[in-house]
Amino acid sequence: MAAARFGRLWSVWSGSFILVVLSLLLSAVAADAETSGGTPKPEDGDHVMQASRHGVTWVFDGEYRAGRYANGDWWVVGPVTITEIDPATTVEGWHGSMINPSPRDGGRLGYGPVHANTYVADKNVAKQLPLRVRPGSSLVSTIGKEDTTAVPGIETAAVLTVVDSAPAPDAFRPPYSGDDKTSYFTETDLRYELLPRLDPVEGTPDIAQMATNFERVWLDHRPGWSGRKIHPSSAMPDYGRDLASRLGEGSLMLMLDFPDQAKRDLLVNYVQIGIDFHGIVEDGGENNWHPDGGHAQGRKWPILFAGVMLDDETMAAIGQRDDVHFGEDAQTFYVTQTDVDRGVGYTTSDIGLAEWGIRHATDPSHDDANWGASYRRCCTANSWGGHVLSARIMGLQDAWNHDALFDYTDRYLAKEPRGEWQRFWDRPFTENMWDTHRPHH
């Protein structure tokens, strides 16, 4: 009798255990499907008839070999014929797509109308279905906002890269700009040993949550201030001050004493953004980020950092190029007699001072010695601290190759009162990191 009761109890318990296990397994499958846009992640070399990423689905005319890059974006061996892109584009160009979007396109975009009268229907390849896409192509598809007056007008974007052969299983995605879709870098190349192990500070964010800030593609190929109109709002801030602040915050998280495994997603996503920024430069974007208020900062450090972490000489030498504008470099300088003679408020006692000018590199006539000069305190150096501190911590000031930025940032942050947004747009984390790890200057 007792044995029979035990047997029944065991049967009930074991059955419940099996149900729990099955439930957990189904939840795991569902989670994988959700993170990969509703389609379980394939193994490299699997053949699929469609691919989904961040709410965008590309439907093929048959089965194609496909897989994922290190950051989760899709590649497919082509040429491939795409019969459907969901959500479908509209007559006005909402939910548009472009192939290899380039800074050389200027304001002629296939994502539209982006509240700027720059939509060009011929650029929107989503209107050309079925679409035959050759290897050497990045198909960038967007989801627009319901509010047709919104700036930016794009909610999210996703990239499908068409290649001629399968990349390595841990390859980084090639840049979406340009027609070279060779995967030159892999996750195995990452030099974790170069990352510092600093103590966290009060206000340190959750590192897993921080990684999600960089998991979607940052569209930044449109030149000048109007580039903010295509910055997908679910992926990145639209304004340069805000995106620079976020990039600085993400970089400083990688400087902290977390296990490599905990840093993995953030590091991969962050380096991918650096690769994409460099792809924009290489595809004719040398002047994309010319000095102009608070729009153009934040792009240099991710490129330099990616180059160092991947041991890539070209990206790591971005600071040696004098043909590329980066907002924070182009706005900082040491006062000279020429600046004094310009009559914008400097005196001979200011010669050698690390200083700021809204368009100094391109039009120094707009320099203004007044500490309250427009854009000085609201929108520029209050977002630079994370980048400058990261470069100092990693010993890369020489590689950055613009000392005026470092000296001006020191001067600016020493002058502005602690705890105010004019000192640090991102508080308290970045401010606490600066005051803890850059206290003596």
Arithmetic mean of pLDDT, 136-165 = 93
Instruction: Flag whether pLDDT at 127 surpasses 70.
Output: yes
CB-based contact 282:175 (threshold 8 Å): yes
Which of these ranges, 53-62, 102-111, 216-225, 371-380, has the smallest mean pLDDT? 102-111
pLDDT at residue 324, as a whole number = 97
Task: Give residue 441's pLDDT band: very low, low, confident or very high (50, 70, 90).
Answer: low
Nearest Cα to Cα of residue 285 among 332, 219, 383, 235: 219
Q: Which of 217, 265, 229 shows the shortest CA–CA distance to 56?
A: 217
Written in H, E and C, the secondary structure of 31-57 is HHHHHCCCCCCCCCCEEEEEEEECCEE
Return the amino acid letter for 352: G
- Report whether pLDDT(368) > 70: yes
This prediction has a pTM of: 0.90
Contact at 8 Å (CB) between 55 and 156?
yes
Q: Are 394 and 316 in contact (CB under 8 A)?
A: no
Name the nearest CA neighbour of 206 among 245, 243, 261, 258: 258
**Which is more confident, 392 or 150?**
392
Q: Please indicate whether residue 435 or residue 117 has the higher confidence score (pLDDT).
A: 435
Quickly state the pLDDT bin for 439 (edges 50, 70, 90): confident
Ordered by start, the domain boundaries in the chain are 1-35, 46-185, 192-437
Of 203, 254, 248, 200, the C-alpha closest to 381 is 248
Q: Token digits for 380?
A: 């520029």
Neighbours of 273 (CB within 10 A): 26
Average pLDDT over residues 340-345: 97
Position 33 scores a pLDDT of 38
**Under 8 Å between Cβ of 70 and 187:** yes
For residue 440, the one-letter residue type is H
| Sequence-ordered list of residues with C-beta below 8 angstroms from that of 168, at least 6 positions apart, any chain | 183, 186
Where does residue 171 rank: exposed (0-12), middle (13-18), buried (19+ CB within 10 A)?
buried
Kindly tell me if the per-residue pLDDT of 22 is higher than 50: no
154-163 and 74-77 beta bridge pairing: parallel
296, 380 contact by CB (below 8 A): no
Question: What crossing angle do the helices spanning 260-282 and 240-254 adopt, rounded to 10°?
Answer: 140
Contact 344, 368 (CB under 8 A): yes
The pLDDT of residue 125 is above 50: yes
Neighbours of 20 (CB within 10 A): 10
pLDDT average, residue stretch 274-290: 97
Within a 10 A sphere around the Cβ of 228, how many other Cβ atoms?
19
pLDDT digits (tens, 9 = 90+) for 219-268: 999 999 999 999 999 999 999 999 999 999 999 999 999 999 999 999 99
